[in-house]
Structure formats: structure tokens, C-alpha cells
A and B are shown apart, each in its own frame.
Chain A
Amino acid sequence: MATIDIHPHSAVDHHDEHDHGHEHHGNFWTTYVFSEDHKVIAKQFLITGMAWALIGGILSVLFRLQLGFPDANLSWLKPILGGWLTPEGKIDPEFYLALVTMHGTIMVFFVLTAGLSGTFSNFLIPLQVGARDMASGFMNMLSYWFFFASSAVMFTSLFISTGPAAGGWVIYPPLSALPQAISGSGLGMTLWLVSMALFIVSSLLGSINYITTIINLRTVGMSFTKLPLTIWAFFLTAVIGILSFPVLFGAALLLIFDRSFGTSFYLSDIYIGGEALPNQGGSPILFQHLFWFLGHPEVYIVLLPALGITSEIIATNSRKPIFGYKAMVGSMLFIAILSFVVWAHHMFVTGMNPFLGSIFTLLTLIIAVPSAVKIFNYVTTMWKGNIIFTPAMLFSIGLVSFFLTGGITGVFLGNSAIDIQLHDTYFVVAHFHLVMGSASFFGMVAGIYHWFPKMFGRMLNEKLGYIHFWVTFVGVYLVFFPMHYIGIAGFPRRYYSWTNFETFSGFADLNFLVTVAAIVTLAAQLLFVFNFIYSIFRGRMASANPWNSTTLEWTTPRLPQHGNWPGEIPTVYRWPYDYSKPGAKDDYIPQHIPYSETPESNLPHENELIKLEGVGGSAIVVEEKKH
């Protein structure tokens, strides 16, 4: 297998290999715990995120047990659930809501925001733009530890006697504001809000770092048009995060005021527990606007990094340039902008002015266009490729498949007239779990398989990866595809049981199937966890560039140390997708190879660029500074 460590005849001289501060000696605490190295921080985010993913998955299996086996006696769970089981051995209906709420919160924020963005933005941004580290290592460290504090608070809330927050992950007041309405809105909700406030701080610290690093610390020659799509995705994700998370912070702050200081931002005309509350003049719909102003961009905060990772993996393993690089960047940019003006499609039937409903229908269905473009571009990238099915590639194809399957149902839900019936049914559950949940999760797993060799210097076991993929891929479809039928039949979500209704009396068979598939899918993740831990210590040794990839991170040594490159940072001369270029001897040309070295494969306009490639690429710098 052809591998490239540091390209021996690049324009960059390597005589000063030992001048740089990669001999970074720290003790255990500064190296592994309070590390300021972006790679260590990325691993911290990854491992915390994986732990959360397991917890979130287990919670989902618990409530699926209730839905799939409504008559089962779960007393055997007594040692874990204790008082949350009724004397008949069933899950308490209020605890059921707590499970649903915590599953949503954990998966959306802790796994797919922190675990995905936190891991791969941190790991890949400096390595792919050619920087020694993030712009501020200290802020980066704070970002992780705020996330850790946030995790600790949220984790604690699982064990308190009144239970964790239980009003749904969207925490709509008044339910979330009034402890007399549901016990989870007592201390559990307070902890939820504290945890999310910490989480937002963490997210902002991270995002500011990502943006600064991408703008300021790109290596010589790395213009924006030469950035890998991963970096574009992380960049836009960070921008979205900075603009939308503070709004959630504001919404949460007002909710805290309403809960603890007697204000009435969201509360009005409430009679509960035998008394009329004094609050008047507030509007619960205000909260929904504020929440979804973050909540919808959040979908893209979760999804864009996954799409970026997938772009990279599909191009590499198809041995083909990504199709329509500019269209891919353009559609991500367009999605990022539009993501801010579609939020109220979550609120068509909340009593919002119907005219607003019309506007948001229009804007929502427009966002389907760039999403469709992305799918077409992925499929075309594979067309006439030479596809190698690494586990990462399998998961990336899985992502495209989920993105297609789940995206298409968005055309129904975005259309307000159709949404009247489908809103808050299992159709919605099926839609967003496929398009956002599973797709992003697959992006994350694909990223782990692809960059594991650079993270840990060893390879994950491929065969276990294949088994993991096939069980998970088929499992996810078996979990979420049947939900479309259940949703079209009108079954509402967040129902503990449907037996009270004649209308919702069917589909015990599908619900059973879904639960069994969910259990099997979760079990397959344990296989992955085993593979992950085992391979860190015992995996096959990786080469520096095991996938024959073009981007800069593969020019680092097998295990990059602090500072990433032992010598000078390589200069970049070409875009990141020179795969299977006609005339070239290998089927890939890394970004740091100058055109002057590849006369056999240069396109006419690339030959023009050779004369700009002067010593050390200084001419390029002048040219690229204009961007």
C-alpha cells in the first residue's frame, strides 16, 4: 500500500525539523486532563460523547420496552429503576416522559452537538488547514471542561428523587415552568437549565475558536477555495452556533425568571392545583419562537458536520473528486442562511398567526432544494468511481440513504396544510430520527472509523466494522421506517400507551418490531465500543496515510505530537480532491504537492499556476491574501 509520510520533494525545506516545540513535556494532568492540545481535547469530546450516546440509547430502549411490550413485567429492572417502576412492574408514566425528554436532550446536545462537532472540529480543523493548534488552546480546554461540568449536572439530574426534566426536550412552558404540573419540572428542570447554560458557554467557546482558527491560521496557500468540505462544514456550523445558541440562552434565562422570580414572560391565565396563578400577560408561544430560533438551526449544527465528514469520506473512497465542490459549498452556505428563517415550521398549529404559517411553508420548502442538490452530488460522486467499502465509507453511504429517506418526508411536514394532521405524530418522529438523528450519528461513526488511525495510530478492526454497519444500518431502518405508517395512522408521539383510544388501537405488531430492532441496534453499538477500546491498545498499526487521502492531516506522522508537524507546516498548492487525475501515476495527489511536480497530470490552467509557486510558495501568499 502506497503511503506518504512527509513528502520528500515538496517545495518546503525540512532542514529545521527539530526547531519546533513538539517536545512538549507535561505531566499527566496537563497532557491528558487539562490539555490544551486540540487532538487530546477532541478525544475527550469523543469519549464523553460516546458515553452519552450509550446512556441516550439505553434510555430509548427503556421507553421502547413500554411501547413494544406493553404487558411485560419489568420488575427485573427494579435494581436500576427502583421507585420508577409501578408495583405491577411497569414504567411509571411520568418517568416515561422523563426518559423521552432525557433521550432527546442527550442525543441532540450531548452526542450530536458536542460529541460530533466537538470531536471533529477540534481534531480536524488545525490538521486540515495546516495549523499547529487552535487559535486559543486555553479557551479550547475551557470549552471541554464547561461541557464536562454541563454533563455532570445533567447526569446528576437523572438520579434525583423527583426525576429529571420530563416536559419534552423542547421544554415548553408552562409545563416546564410549574413543578405542580409535573414533578420533573422541580429540581430536575432547574438542573436541566443550569446544565444547558453551561453547555451553551462550552459551545460558544468552541465555536469562536473554530472560526478564528479557520480564518487566521490557514497554512500558506490554503485559500478558502482550497479548504476541504469538512472545514467548510465546521466553519458554517460554528457560525450558526454562535448566532443561535445565545438565543436559547436568553429563552432559558427568561424561563428561569418565570420559574424562580415570579415574572410572567411565558405564563398567563393559569389555574392549576386548585389555585389561579397571579401571572398574566405572558405567552407560551413566545418561548416556542425563541426555542426554535435555536432549535431549527440546531438541526443543521448537528447535520452539517456529518455532511462535511461524509463529503470527505465519499470522495476519498470513491477515488474521485467530490462532484460539484462549489455547489456543495454553496448549498451548505444557503442551508446555513435559510436555517435561520424556517424555525416556525415547528409551530404551524400552535396558534401562531396563520399568515406566518404561509411564509414559513414557503421558506421551509426552499431549503429542500440545496438539500436535494447535496444528495445528487453525493450520488454523482460515486458514479464511475472505484469504490472501496471501508467501514467509514459504508457509514457514509448509510448517511446519504438516511438523509434521502428522512429528507423526503420533510416535504410533507414543511407544507403547513399537510402538517396539520401529521404534526406531533410518529411521522415526525420517523422524519427527524432519520434525517437528523441517524444521519448525523452515521456521520459521526463514519468520522471515527476514518480518522481513528490519525487519532490513535492504529486501525479499527474492519470485520467488526462491517458487522457493526450492517446490523446498525438495517436496524435503524427497521426502527424508523415502520414509524411512518404508525404516524400516517395518526398515532401521537410521547404517548405512554395507546390503549385508551379505539383510533390508535392497532400496530402492536409494528411497535413490537421497532422495539426488537432498537434493542438489536443498541447491542451492535456495544460491538463498536469493544472494537474502539480494543483497537486503541491492540489494533493493527496504521500507516501515516492509510486511505491514500489528499488532505493535510495525512501528511503528519502516524501519531502527530503537540504541534502536529515535526517540521515546517506544508504549503498547499491545490484543492483537496485531486483523486484519479488523468495522467497522474497514483490515484491521488495530496494538497501539498506543487503543480511543478506533476506536469503529467496538470490541466492547462494549472500549468499557469506553476510560475506562481516560487520558493516557499511566497508568490501564492501574495495572491491568496486577497481572499
Chain B
Amino acid sequence: MNMIIGLGVVLVIGILFMIFRIGNLVEVAKDKKEEEHPWNNINAILFMLFMVVGLIGFFWYSYKHMGTYEPPVASIHGEVTDNLFWITMWVTVVAFTIIFIAMFWFTYAYRYKKDRKAAFFADNHYLEITWTIVPAIVLALLIFKGLRAWNDITSPASKEAVVIEVIGQQFAWTARYPGVKDKELGHHNYKLIDASNEFGLDLTDKNSYDDFKSLTLHLPKGKEVLLKIRAKDVLHSVYLPHFRVKMDAVPGVATHFKFTPTKTTEEMRAETGNPNFNYEMACAEVCGKGHFSMRFPVIVDEPEDYEKWMASQDSWLKQNPDYLKYVPANLKEAAMIKAGMPLNNAPVQTTVTLK
């Protein structure tokens, strides 16, 4: 079978080559004194055709599929940057269309004619100054709007912001919440990381006792969220497409991004008319074999649901009681209270005392 296909391909190529050779020979034999540049008009017409069909295709597709390529937006700054995106789109599409039409129209209108002589038009300072200054002004306006948005987005988060830590590793995300008791994330150190202590939690810091781990990113609606981002192994990038959030996770360098979700998952399901809609977080910086699979589910709750969910989570220490042995003896009781562990039933503590 393969051999037949192969033979067929060789045959077709051979025939094409023969046609090409015969065409060449005929041309040489005829030695025709035909018009100069016989293909000029055809190419000019093809350019016009390309311009018209291309522009129609571009506007038609852009209009018809408007809903499919614009992801719904669910954050305050996302609406600002989307707005900026569409302003830039209008400005550039107008400029693009004018230049595109002019360029291909010129190729058609000024195609070679035997009796025409091209204009000797080498420069015109007014024209050149105009088309230097006009783009400069338009770009300055876009920069001005863009920088204002950028400064707002990158300004320091407020003190009330909900802090959540997101950690990237090959090839999964985890989130660490500060816990309801102290609302502070405990210290971490990458040298303390092991199979269970995947955050590298430093248990000498009392803020770490009520920290808890989550395999879903829960966010409260309408509250400022500060994502503290780090990576364990290689570069990753926190990418929340619906919130217009993207920030690299860099081993050894702490990064962060603040934003305010504006729509709960339920509200988004209603808005998109898709009862199965879910927010998602992805990795946007190539990180190895499983780069494409680093999906992290995201849920936006009403603030009260969010509080309830927070309160229902077991602290990491409670889930890993073995690690109590790393807590300094004088803090042990406080740690167990904070971690929500039953005090009287404390075999670990006994063993430590016996030591």
C-alpha cells in the first residue's frame, strides 16, 4: 500500500517536472516577442482580490465569532485592561485598514504601463513630519491610558487584602491559606520541604500552625485578593484568564499579584449560560513535560460562603500531627490549640516529655 502511494507521488512529481520542462522548451522555441511583463496585470488583480477577500474575511469572522474568542471577564482591573484592549483594537484596525487598502490599491493602480513614467517623488517633509507626529500622538495617548492602568494594577495591596499563597511545581499547583485564627502566612524555607511538608513550612513560626492547604483556589467575591506566588523547581506562571491575571512563579524570587474578583462561579454560570462553567488557573511559562496539564480549579464564593469554607478546613498541622515534633516545646500547646488539635488526646506530647 505504502509503495503504491510512494510510486504515485513519484509519478505525479515526474509528470509535473515534464510539464515544466516542456513549457520551458516551448517558450525558448517560440522566442516570442510578447509584451513586457505579461503577468503584471494578473498579479495586480490578485493583490486587489487578496485585499478585498482578506478584509471581508477578517471583518466577517471577527464579527460573527465575537462571543467565542473573548473570554468573559471577572475582575475589576480586567474590565479596565479589556477596555484598553478594545480601544487599541479600534485605533489599530482603522489605521490597518486604511494602510492595507492604500497599499494594495497602489499596487493595482500603478502597475506597469508601457507609456507611463513614474513620478520622481523623492521626499516631502510635510508628509513625513505628519506621519511621524500623528502616530506619536496617538501612541502617547495609548501609553498614557495604559500606564495609568498599569500603575493601579501594580500598586501595593491594601492591608485588608485577602492573602493566599500559590505554589507552582512540576506539574501541579497548590494553595496555602493563612488560616482563620491569625490570618497570617507562616514562614517557609525550601530546605524544609519533604514529601509531606510540601510547603517547607517553618514550624518554629507560630503563624504557620493554622495555615492550611487547598487543592482548589477559593476566592471571595468583591474582596481584594493578594496572591503571593512562588515556585519550587522551575519557572511557572500563574495564569487566571478570566481575571486577566498573569504573574510568573520564580524559584528564589517572591512575586505577587493583587486583584478583585467580581463574579461568583454561580453568577458566571448564569452569565455565560453554561451550567458547567468553572474558573480555571493555568501555567503560562513553559515548565517541562506536563506544562499543558497544570490545571488548578478556581471557585469564587460569596464572602460569607468563603468564610464558611475557610472555617471548615483542617489546618496542615492537624493533618500531619507527626510534624508536631518540629514545634519548639514551649510553643507546642499553643500550636495544638491553633491547629485545632484535641489537647487531652496527645500521645505525641507524651513521647516528647518522656524523651
Which chain A residues have a beta carbon within 8 Å of chain B's beta carbons?
A: 1, 93-94, 97, 167-168, 172, 174-175, 178, 181-182, 267-272, 274, 276, 280-285, 318-327, 349-351, 354, 357-358, 361-362, 365-366, 368-369, 372-373, 375-380, 382-389, 394, 397, 400-401, 404-405, 408-409, 411-412, 415-418, 420-421, 423-425, 461-464, 466, 470, 473-474, 477, 481, 485-486, 488-490, 492, 494-498, 500-504, 506-507, 577, 579-582, 587
**Bound state CA distance, A464 and B245, in angstroms?**
49
A-B contact pairs, 24 of them (CB 8 A): A175-B235, A270-B232, A270-B252, A284-B253, A320-B120, A320-B121, A321-B120, A321-B122, A373-B128, A377-B128, A383-B110, A387-B40, A387-B111, A397-B103, A404-B103, A421-B85, A466-B43, A474-B50, A485-B62, A489-B70, A492-B283, A496-B292, A501-B295, A580-B118
**Bound state CA distance, A583 and B285, in angstroms?**
62
If A271-B232, A281-B252, A587-B117 are given as contacts, then 5 extra A-B residue pairs at C-beta distance below 8 Å, sorted by A number, are: A282-B252, A383-B119, A418-B81, A421-B244, A501-B280
Q: Is B113 an interface residue (CB 8 A)?
A: yes
Chain A positions within 8 Å of B245 at CB level: 420
Q: Is B204 an interface residue (CB 8 A)?
A: no
Question: B110 touching A385 by the CB < 8 A rule?
Answer: yes
CB distance from A255 to the nearest CB of B (A): 14
Question: A172 touching B246 by the CB < 8 A rule?
Answer: no
Which chain B residues have a beta carbon within 8 Å of chain A's beta carbons?
A: 20, 23-24, 36-37, 39-40, 42-44, 46-47, 50, 54, 58, 61-62, 65, 68-71, 78, 80-82, 84-85, 88-89, 91-92, 95-96, 99-100, 102-103, 106-107, 110-113, 116-124, 127-128, 131-132, 135-136, 139, 142-143, 146-147, 149-151, 153-154, 169-170, 190-191, 193, 195, 200, 229, 232-235, 237, 239, 241-242, 244-248, 250-255, 276-278, 280, 282-293, 295
> Would A490 and B88 be within 8 Å (CB), given that A384-B121, A420-B245 are in contact?
no
Question: B128 touching A178 by the CB < 8 A rule?
Answer: no
Question: B135 touching A368 by the CB < 8 A rule?
Answer: yes
Question: B69 touching A485 by the CB < 8 A rule?
Answer: yes
Chain B positions within 8 Å of A383 at CB level: 106, 110, 119, 121
Question: B118 touching A386 by the CB < 8 A rule?
Answer: yes
**Bound state CA distance, A326 and B125, in angstroms?**
10
Q: Top 4 nearest A-B pairs by Cβ distance?
A: A268-B252, A354-B154, A351-B255, A415-B146
CB distance from A290 to the nearest CB of B (A): 15
Specify the chain B residue showing the minimal Cβ separation from A401: B103
> Would A386 and B241 be within 8 Å (CB), given that A269-B190, A423-B284, A502-B278 are in contact?
no
Chain B positions within 8 Å of A501 at CB level: 280, 282, 295
Question: A379 touching B103 by the CB < 8 A rule?
Answer: yes
Question: B251 touching A284 by the CB < 8 A rule?
Answer: yes
Specify the chain B residue showing the minimal Cβ separation from A279: B252
Question: B290 touching A93 by the CB < 8 A rule?
Answer: yes
Question: A397 touching B247 by the CB < 8 A rule?
Answer: no
Chain A positions within 8 Å of B36 at CB level: 1
**Bound state CA distance, A223 and B44, in angstroms?**
37
**Bound state CA distance, A175 and B284, in angstroms?**
14
Question: B292 touching A497 by the CB < 8 A rule?
Answer: yes
Question: A496 touching B291 by the CB < 8 A rule?
Answer: yes
> Would A408 and B95 be within 8 Å (CB), given that A324-B123, A397-B47 are in contact?
yes
CB distance from B306 to the nearest CB of A (A): 22
> Would A582 and B120 be within 8 Å (CB), given that A282-B252, A383-B106 are in contact?
yes
Q: Which residue of the partner chain, among A270, A320, A388, contacts B190 with CB atoms under 8 Å?
A: A270
> Would A502 and B276 be within 8 Å (CB), given that A386-B112, A481-B58 are in contact?
yes
Specify the chain B residue showing the minimal Cβ separation from A322: B122
Question: A577 touching B122 by the CB < 8 A rule?
Answer: yes
CB distance from B299 to the nearest CB of A (A): 13
Specify the chain A residue showing the minimal Cβ separation from B73: A421
Chain B positions within 8 Å of A349 at CB level: 237, 246-248
**Bound state CA distance, A397 and B48, in angstroms?**
13
> Would A470 and B123 be within 8 Å (CB), given that A411-B142, A415-B143 are in contact?
no
Question: A379 touching B102 by the CB < 8 A rule?
Answer: yes
Specify the chain B residue showing the minimal Cβ separation from A394: B43
Specify the chain A residue showing the minimal Cβ separation from B82: A421
> Would A404 and B99 be within 8 Å (CB), given that A389-B39, A486-B69, A506-B68 are in contact?
yes
> Would A420 and B246 be within 8 Å (CB), given that A382-B107, A385-B110 are in contact?
yes
**Bound state CA distance, A229 and B73, in angstroms?**
47
Question: B146 touching A416 by the CB < 8 A rule?
Answer: yes
Listed residue (A378, A421, A481) with the most chain B CB atoms within 10 angstroms of its CB: A421
Chain A positions within 8 Å of B286 at CB level: 97, 167-168, 172, 175, 494
Question: A318 touching B110 by the CB < 8 A rule?
Answer: yes
**Bound state CA distance, A501 and B136, in angstroms?**
41
